């Protein structure tokens, strides 16, 4: 993960996609996140004097606040820059300005290409804080939450993502399979994860003896699941074809009836924000099975661990 070390992974030192963390680094990060969560004060000066630039093209509550608090609670500093990236000046120029001033760049972008270009030109680590294709920081908090429920050895545990095969589903597939999980993604026809992500996930699943299944049947998907996960039907920048998407996704609502098909001890996860009454219901979000706020809390701990490992 040292940007200056020639490790075999392409984007050494960045978190452009989930796969920039090797499997060993992923385990180490999750262990560190748990240690930070247990004793946050032990890490109170761990990023003394370090600074982060946060470039956000899209809105955020959780990602912004957890990165800002992660930096502040470890003795560092962050500065937030909202607006389009690469419009006022080229992305590569932004990267080469910022790396003179800060120790890490955190970027939330529309295009994955923007993250890649920032990483290619920046001499400091670049963290993907969500693009159209990935949400790797979310996946770290998700698997941390699942570990805290079912133990550190997640081999054979099943997580089912129900809904749009988009950024959050992609990252879950690429991260949870490597921990040995059975990952199932249940989408309406035409909303499956990108073909290249499916291929990638099948490949990396072998590292951890995990597996990936794609289905268009939500009931089949959640049967036997330890964790049921959903996300909005209209992602940021994707608010098109509203009546069609509502019709296509309505059988995929995670409601009490669908949750009842999962294991009795199954937990409910959602990256948030949620559109209550669309992809899920009040009853499920407020149920004893819901771990959505633990999951949101874990964003902070997982990203502290990530920052420590990158810096």
- Active-site residue list: 108, 135, 138, 231, 271, 299
Closest CA to 92 of 75, 108, 116, 72: 116
Distance of CA 34 to the CA centre of its chain: 17
Q: Supply the minimum distance, in Å, between the C-beta of residue 252 and ligand NVA.
A: 14
Nearer to ligand NVA, 157 or 299 (CB): 299
Separation between Cα atoms, residue 18 and residue 193, nearest integer Å: 15
Instruction: Kindly tell me which residue out of 109, 122, 131, 138 binds ligand CP, with binding defined by CB under 6 A.
Output: 138
> Considering the rule CB under 6 A, would residue 28 count as an interface residue with ligand CP?
no
271 binds ligand NVA, rule: CB under 6 A: yes
Structure tokens at 122: 């920046």
Check residue 1 for interaction with ligand NVA (CB under 6 A). no
Q: Please name the residue that has the structure tokens 């000066």.
A: 45
Establish how many alpha carbons lie within 13 A of residue 276's alpha carbon, considering only the half-sphere containing its beta carbon.
6
CA–CA gap between residue 99 and residue 294 (Å, rounded): 34
- Binding test (CB under 6 A) with ligand CP, winner from 62, 147, 245, 304: 62
Residue 274 engages ligand NVA in binding (rule: CB under 6 A): no
DSSP state of 276: B
Lay out the site mask for ligand NVA across 189-218 (x = CB under 6 A, - = otherwise): ------------------------------
Task: Tell me whether residue 34 or residue 300 sits nearer to ligand NVA (CB atom).
Answer: 300
Picking from 224, 234, 229, the residue whose alpha carbon sits closest to that of residue 191 is: 234
Q: Would you say how long the chain is, in residues?
A: 311
The piece of 217-225, 227-235, 241-249, 289-297 that touches ligand NVA (CB under 6 A) is 227-235
Q: 215 - beta bridge partners?
A: 186
Q: Toward ligand NVA, which CB reaches closer, 66 or 167?
A: 167
Is the Cβ–Cβ distance between 197 and 167 less than 8 Å? no
Question: Which residue's CB comes closest to ligand NVA?
Answer: 235
Phi-psi region of 272 (alpha: psi -120 to 50; beta: other; left: phi over 0): left
Closest distance of CB 4 from ligand NVA, Å:
32
How many of the other CB atoms lie within 10 Å of CB of 151? 9
Q: From the list ligand NVA, ligand CP, none, pick the one residue 115 interacts with, judged by a Cβ distance below 5 to 8 Å according to partner type.
A: none
Among 13, 26, 53, 60, binds ligand CP (CB under 6 A): 60
Binding site for ligand NVA (CB under 6 A): 130, 166-168, 231-232, 235-236, 271
């Amino acid at each position: 993960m040292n940007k200056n070390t020639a490790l075999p992974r392409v984007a050494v030192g960045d978190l452009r996609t989930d796969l920039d963390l090797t499997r060993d680094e992923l385990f180490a990060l999750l262990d560190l996140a748990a240690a930070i969560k247990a004793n946050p004060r032990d890490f109170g000066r761990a990023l003394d004097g370090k600074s982060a630039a946060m470039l956000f093209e899209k809105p955020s509550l959780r990602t912004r606040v957890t990165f800002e608090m992660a930096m502040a609670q470890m003795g560092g500093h962050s500065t937030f820059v909202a607006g389009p990236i690469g419009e006022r000046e080229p992305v590569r120029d932004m990267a080469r300005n910022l790396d003179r001033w800060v120790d890490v760049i955190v970027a939330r972008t529309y295009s994955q290409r923007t993250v890649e270009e920032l990483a290619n030109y920046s001499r400091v680590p670049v963290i993907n804080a969500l693009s159209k294709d990935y949400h790797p920081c979310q996946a770290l908090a998700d698997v941390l939450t699942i570990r805290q429920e079912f133990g550190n050895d997640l081999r054979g545990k099943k997580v089912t993502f129900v809904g749009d095969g988009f950024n959050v589903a992609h990252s879950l597939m690429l991260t949870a399979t490597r921990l040995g999980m059975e990952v199932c993604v249940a989408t309406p026809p035409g909303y499956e994860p990108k073909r290249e992500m499916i291929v990638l996930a099948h490949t990396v699943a072998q590292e951890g003896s995990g597996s990936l299944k794609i289905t268009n049947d939500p009931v089949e998907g959640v049967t036997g699941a330890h964790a049921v996960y959903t996300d909005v039907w209209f992602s940021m920048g994707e608010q098109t074809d509203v009546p069609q998407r509502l019709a296509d996704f309505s059988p995929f609502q995670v409601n009490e009836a669908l949750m009842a098909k999962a294991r009795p001890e199954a937990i409910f996860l959602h990256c948030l924000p949620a559109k209550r009454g669309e992809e899920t219901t009040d009853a499920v979000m407020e149920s004893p099975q819901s771990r959505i706020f633990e999951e949101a809390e874990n964003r902070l701990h997982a990203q502290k661990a990530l920052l420590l490992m990158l810096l």
